Amino acid sequence: MISLLGIERVFLVGDQPVRALRGIDLEIGAGEYVSLMGPSGSGKSTLLNIVGLLDRASAGSYRLDGLDVTALSDEQQARVRREKIGFVFQFFHLIARLSAQHNVELPMLLAGIPAAERTRRSDDLLRRYGLAERAHHKPEQLSGGQRQRVAIARATVMRPPVLLADEPTGNLDRASGQEVVRILEDLHGAGTTLIVVTHDPDLGARAPRRLRMVDGRIEQDLRG
């Protein structure tokens, strides 16, 4: 499913090159549930961004579903992001002026899906995540947990095979966090490949496969 080979990512900080990722080789199969942990600055978010096509590797190759996505044009990459990848962020990143429902519909809007179909699918997801009554609320009228559930609905509304979550519970209280984890794991249970970046050892330990990153390298790859 996801196949990384010799991935490097070099940032320029001032005129000083900083190697955020150093030769990452990683294979993740379809339907896996992987947690990615490590200290701040270890490169785990950078790796997630490269997997999510938000960032480009400085060197190395990345194949998604057998397709070499490093060589794709902007247009094609956008299409891959839209159709194959769902992103869940620590800070939700909902658009403040749009209602919960419209936030959920955003990827479908960009994909050119007709309004009736959008409404049907977003209604369905919001109901499933217990947000039916909140569909027309703006993000500021929602609690943190509700916001993250809206964000998950948005990330999954295009039914992507891969779901990437960057500290999904980092900004939530314990109860809301658990609810969010339950939803993510349900999605995994339904076949979605799930990669979760987290600082929370309890959350990290839940995954069947646990990666630990230090200084831009994968130090540990535990299964079972």
Residue 43 in contact with another protein, rule: CB under 8 A? no
210 three-state secondary structure: strand
- β-strands 193-197, 16-28 pairing: unpaired
Minimum gap (Å) between residue 94 Cβ and another protein: 8
Residue number, 116 or 175, with CB nearest to another protein: 116
Letters for 157-196 (x = contact with another protein by CB under 8 A, - = none) are -x--------------------------------------
- Give the nearest distance from C-beta 160 to another protein in angstroms: 10
Output the CA torsion sign for 184, 44, 50, 4.
negative
DSSP conformational letter for 161: S
CA distance 8 to 21: 5
Tokens of 186: 């349900």
Q: What's the N-to-C CA distance of the chain in angstroms? A: 20
**Cβ proximity of 172 and 142 under 8 Å:** no
Please report how close the Cβ of residue 156 comes to another protein at its closest, in angstroms.
11
* Number of residues this chain uses to bind another protein (CB under 8 A): 30
Q: Which is nearer to another protein, 47 or 210 (CB)?
A: 47
Q: Which residues contact 16 (CB under 8 A, 6 or more apart)?
A: none
66 strand-pairing partners: none
Task: Please report the DSSP string for 45-66 in residue order.
Answer: HHHHHHHTTSS--SEEEEEETT
List the one residue from 18, 59, 109, 222 that touches another protein (CB under 8 A). 109
Work out how close the CB of 134 gets to another protein at its nearest, in angstroms, rounded to a whole number.
19
Restricting to residues 68-87, name those near another protein by CB under 8 A: 74-75, 78-79, 81-83, 87
Answer yes or no whether residue 5 interacts with another protein by CB under 8 A.
no
Which member of 110, 190, 205, 222 binds another protein (CB under 8 A)? 110
Closest distance of CB 114 from another protein, Å: 8
8 Å CB contact between 20 and 11: yes
105 in the Ramachandran plot: left (φ > 0), alpha (ψ -120 to 50) or beta? alpha
Count Cα neighbours of 156 within 13 Å in the Cβ-side half-sphere: 25
Residue 200 lies near another protein (rule: CB under 8 A): no
In this complex, which beta carbon is closest to another protein, that of residue 97 or of residue 182? 97
- Least distance from another protein to the Cβ atom of residue 98, Å: 7
Binding site for another protein (CB under 8 A): 49, 52, 54-55, 74-75, 78-79, 81-83, 87, 89, 91, 93, 95-98, 106-107, 109-112, 114-115, 154-155, 158
